[in-house]
Amino acid sequence: MTDMTILILGGGGFIGRKVAQSLAARATLRGQPITRLVLADLAEPAPLDAPFAVETRACDITDRAAVDALIGPEVTVIFHFAAIVSSHAEAEFETGMAVNLHGTLNVLERARVLGTCPVVVFTSSLAVFGGEVPDPITDHTIPNPQTSYGMQKAVGELLLNDYSRKGYVDGRGFRLPTISVRPGKPNRAASSFMSSVIREPLNGQEAVCPVDETQEHFYLSPRKCVENLIKGAELEAAALGMQRCMTMPGQRLSIRQMIDALTAVAGPEPARLIRWEDQPDVAAIVRGWRYDYRFDKALALGLDADASFEENVRAYLEDDLPKA
């Protein structure tokens, strides 16, 4: 039995941390005991308690030498979550290209040079889709991104597919729905309010909703996202076929349906803390997003969505509500 060394790029981030905690709880991956976990991010991640060795490292994936020093032949599985978010990548084109495109290429090139064919789990985005393609968006819809971030993720998918075809990596990529309810504070993503309208009221704080309550979108809880990413890491290459990237399952919901779920779980008081304030710049971005997705391939491979948004609310209360 070979050693199981796992690297999480973006290991200090929200999803990276949750995947690390889940791996620590289960202690195995791909049928083998985990022997070592490396958490890497631009700033060194916080330590993690686990029944195996855990290392924390600072690494800038735009620096090829730093990537080469981080990824050795012992690394069996790479979770590649390191990226900058959509609005940041749109506002700072060069930074987005450096991190989201060239950083991904640095990781894949290091694997190619090593010749060890690690499993690479890549988080892509629904932003790869756009333009004039018809609904619903299926596994066979042609990517046509309308943002720099979407373009960078689409290129990442193409790279992952080709490096897998050549046998340099065993890649699998997942286009994530909007993750809600996210813990913490709002970030620079235009979708940030899609967590804050639930999270802040549950914390007794006012939240602003910048769009109409009929606005629909495509959602997945952090808990289910982590489950799916770990399932994705365990898929056999033969099951993935010629297209290594797919849309992760989610739920299509309106803001009103989300708030109704909030009320069903937490009672009427939290929803009274939501203030409706039209923000045309945010609304214009969100109206351009698609939300009618089919995810047959992921379902066939054993990934799934939350059964209802009430599950998303309960997951936040159980996993992420700040302790008093």
Active site residues per annotation: 149
Q: How far apart are CA 310 and CA 314, in angstroms?
A: 6
Residue 142 structure tokens: 């042609």
| Planar angle of CA 105, 88, 183, nearest 5 degrees | 100
Q: How far apart are CA 78 and CA 56, in angstroms?
A: 14
- HEC states along the chain? CCCCEEEEECCCCHHHHHHHHHHHHHCEECCEECCEEEEEECCCCCCCCCCCEEEEEECCCCCHHHHHHHCCCCEEEEEECCCCCHHHHHHCHHHHHHHHHHHHHHHHHHHHHHCCCCEEEEEEEHHHCCCCCCCCECCCCCCCCCCHHHHHHHHHHHHHHHHHHCCCCEEEEEEECEECCCCCCCCCCHHHHHHHHHHHHHCCCCEEECCCCCCEEEEECHHHHHHHHHHHHHCCHHHHCCCCEEECCCEEEEHHHHHHHHHHHHCCCHHHHEEECCCHHHHHHHHCCCCCECCHHHHHCCCCCCCCHHHHHHHHHHHCCCCC
